Amino acid sequence: MYQSKEIEKTFKFSEKDKETVKYSPNRFSVAPMLDWTDRHCRYFHRLLSQQTLLYTEMVTTGAIIHGKGDYLAYSEEEHPIALQLGGSDPQALAHCAKIAQERGYDEINLNVGCPSDRVQNGRFGACLMGEAELVADCVKAMQDVVNVPVTVKTRIGIDEQDSYQFLCNFIDIVVQRSGCNIFTIHARKAWLSGLSPKENREIPPLDYPRVYQLKKDFPQLTIAINGGIKSLEEAKQHLQYVDGIMIGREAYQNPSILAQVDHELFDASMPVVDTVAVVKALYPYIEQELSKGTYLGHITRHILGIFQGIPGARQWRRHLSENAHKPGADISVVEQALAMVTERM
């Protein structure tokens, strides 16, 4: 677990130059994804990569303060883990950030990128790009009550406010007024009306060079890039220009990519993780959760894509999809599905 902005992890690569390379925990992360990156998903992802920074789904301040459930629950094995907050009231955000730090979260991230109508109606998400001073006040309020990093995830612009100068002005105001020094930039602008959240992830064109330029113009900041990245080879290309990579849907739909992250992006002496072994390592967690009343399907929906491209993958997905939601479904459903893969290896 990292505790401050200054702490970095050091790994020794077994490359020919044998040099020591320092990486911040934001070098590689899995994006916060609503209805996807819940605690079961994160536990599974942690088995695939020890170094990847994992984000929660976006949690609103209202849910934490007034909700009846425990929206901050996670397993200790998930560290390093970041909480993404949705909100625009500095006091409420500070209150929730303090609670999150007390619960052991390693980072607090403010959502300034979600374009959905529901989020806009709550006056948070991407619409906050038009209120840089408010974003700065929110970040500052959180920083004043916690000593873990407070970070911002945002877009490159909104609606007609999509010039590079607009992005620079936004970043500059937030940095100058709050001292925030870690930003994740989704390399697409957001249309606040006319496009659905899904369309906003696909229709606005990607502009990676704009993010590269941002890092060049703000070299003192840690800048991670997000949007449309589908392989670790692409990630390595981006890392020539920015400090970190955030992958979303590709990491969820094809989680085996995470099995290679530690080896490819952090420490070449670390082995690529065996995905079959990971599924078996998940068994104790599944049985523990089943004993608490969790439905098997709530866990297995996150592991459907682990064998993508491998013989038996279709049978694996079909067996889990057809049986995990049946009453009384237990670990044997997963064991049977796994056998459909291993018998073809």
- Catalytic residue numbers read 114
Strands (E), the chain: 9-12, 20-23, 28-30, 53-60, 81-86, 107-112, 150-155, 182-186, 222-226, 244-247
For residue 271, the 8-state DSSP code is P
Instruction: Write phi, then psi, for 20 (nearest 5 degrees).
Output: -90, 130
Helix (H) or strand (E) holding 71: none
Judge if the upstream peptide bond of residue 80 is cis by omega within 30 degrees of 0.
yes
DSSP 185-244: EESS-B-SSSS-HHHHTTSSPP-HHHHHHHHHH-TTSEEEEESS--SHHHHHHHTTTSSE
Helix, strand, or coil here: 287? helix
Task: Find, among 113, 99, 29, 33, the residue nearest to 71 by Cα.
Answer: 99
In 3D, which of 54, 59, 70, 69 has the Cα closest to residue 35?
59
Is 153 annotated as belonging to a binding site? yes
33 assigned ligand-binding residue: yes
| 1 assigned ligand-binding residue | no
Instruction: Give SS3 for 247.
Output: strand
Angle at 180 between CA 178 and CA 184, to 5 degrees: 140
Is residue 50 a known part of a binding site? no
In whole angstroms, give the CA distance from residue 184 to residue 197: 18
User: Per the annotation, does 328 bind a ligand?
Assistant: no
Two tokens at 206? 């990607």
Beta bridge partners of residue 54, listed in sequence order: 30, 81
228 is in an annotated binding site: yes
302, 44 contact by CB (below 8 A)? yes
Backbone φ, ψ for residue 210 (5° rounding): -65, -40
> Do 323 and 258 form a contact (C-beta atoms < 8 A)?
no
Annotated binding-site residue numbers: 32-34, 84, 153, 186, 226-228, 248-249
Annotated binding-site residue numbers for FMN: 32-34, 84, 153, 186, 226-228, 248-249
